[in-house]
Amino acid sequence: MASKDLNQSLADAKKAKEDEFYTQLTDIERELKHYKKHFRDKVVYCNCDDPRVSNFFHYFSYSFERVGLKKLITTCYKSQDVDLFSQNNSQVALYLEYLGDKNQNMVPDPAEIGAKTLNGDGDFRSPESIELLKQADIVVTNPPFSLFREYLAQLMKHNKKFVIVGNQNAISYKEVFRLIKDNKLWLGHNNGDMSFRVPDSYAPRTTRFWVDDKGQKWRSLGNACWFTNLDLAKRHEDLILYKTYTPEDYPTYDNYDAIEVSKVVDLPVDYDGIMGVPLTFLDKHNPDQFEILGLSGTDYPTTKKYGKKERVVDGVRKKSNTGTLGCVIRADSFGAGTHFDVGYPVKGIYRRLFIRRKGRTS
């Protein structure tokens, strides 16, 4: 294995220990209410979900008739920490198919429905799970974040519709961003803060961690996201723009051919060129209004390479020992009287998405 791959695997393995983030029913309801029309007469597969503890199973089994599902399938990975909810951790991979029950008005008991044991370990990449995936119309779950790239790639390979939880950092993974740019993947409705139950074995943390009055441990993320390729009404709503462009209000970059728009609400109504915006833009993106061209630090072209050794003294570039990592730098960082190595202490600004208005005049 190449050392880069090895490092990635080690990083993934480390993170894999912290994959047990259990989604709350309220978060699932708040998101899935926007997709109801998509589920009618469909086979839904939750492939990282122990029906004994998963709120995705709870949501879909409880609302099976109301939503008009055809079939619900869930499978779980055998290492799932079922002790988390004081149940027997049988350390087996389960498989369950539910076809609804017209008379029922409660969440069905997985044992009564007849949860079966899988032959393998329930890995979403295992042949058994892939056979079930092939039957599914829509996949809905919160998958292990450490395997997010692979998880998404598998869904795309099998041409599946999906609604899945992830972390905003995934947007800047090359392969994920390419899907977003090509309008094959987008953000769902509720992105930002989300809280998750975690196993008792998870170590306390100084932030975004608490124990409730029942002794249940919780963690929260400030950058949780729903990723989907199901159409949403909000993707067709125009952002209302009210600012007009002036060169004073919108500085340019030193190394990208675009203007800086540091807040999405400040997007100018009358600018036809390329604009750099924060990633939060994706939450408001309507593909009929804007075109996404690229993301800084990926394969989007810079107009200037700083190289490793460049220094600016009174606005004149000289040899230096430090460099930048392809970050976005405002042109006005290079005024007279400056004396610094590029990258330090010049501040690269956060990652920027490059976008352009559609239907522009030029």
Q: Would you tell me which residues interact with ligand SAM (CB under 6 A)? A: 19-23, 48-49, 54-56, 77, 79-80, 122-124, 141-144, 147
We find the least distance from the C-beta atom of residue 147 to ligand SAM, in angstroms, to be 6
We find the least distance from the C-beta atom of residue 55 to ligand SAM, in angstroms, to be 6
**DSSP-derived secondary structure for 296-317:** TTTTSPPS----S--EEETTEE
We find the least distance from the C-beta atom of residue 193 to ligand SAM, in angstroms, to be 16
We find the least distance from the C-beta atom of residue 151 to ligand SAM, in angstroms, to be 8
Query: Which backbone phi and psi does 139 adopt, to 5 degrees?
Result: -105, 130
Residue nearer to ligand SAM on the CB measure, 15 or 42: 15
Q: Report whether 348 contacts 325 (CB < 8 A).
A: yes
The residue written with tokens 């728009």 in the block is 261
* Pairwise CA distance, residues 334 & 299, whole Å: 25
Q: Which helix (H) or strand (E) holds 128?
A: helix 127-135
We find the least distance from the C-beta atom of residue 86 to ligand SAM, in angstroms, to be 16
Residue nearer to ligand SAM on the CB measure, 22 or 300: 22
Residue nearer to ligand SAM on the CB measure, 163 or 261: 163
Kind of pairing, strands 259-260 and 316-318? unpaired
Residue nearer to ligand SAM on the CB measure, 138 or 346: 138
Q: Which of 271, 165, 185, 178 is nearest to 235 (CA)?
A: 185
Q: Which of 80, 18, 6 is nearest to 47 (CA)?
A: 80
* Tokens linked to 252: 């340019």
Residue nearer to ligand SAM on the CB measure, 62 or 306: 62
Residue nearer to ligand SAM on the CB measure, 124 or 162: 124
> Burial, 238: exposed, middle or buried (Cβ in 10 Å; 0-12, 13-18, 19+)?
exposed
We find the least distance from the C-beta atom of residue 345 to ligand SAM, in angstroms, to be 39
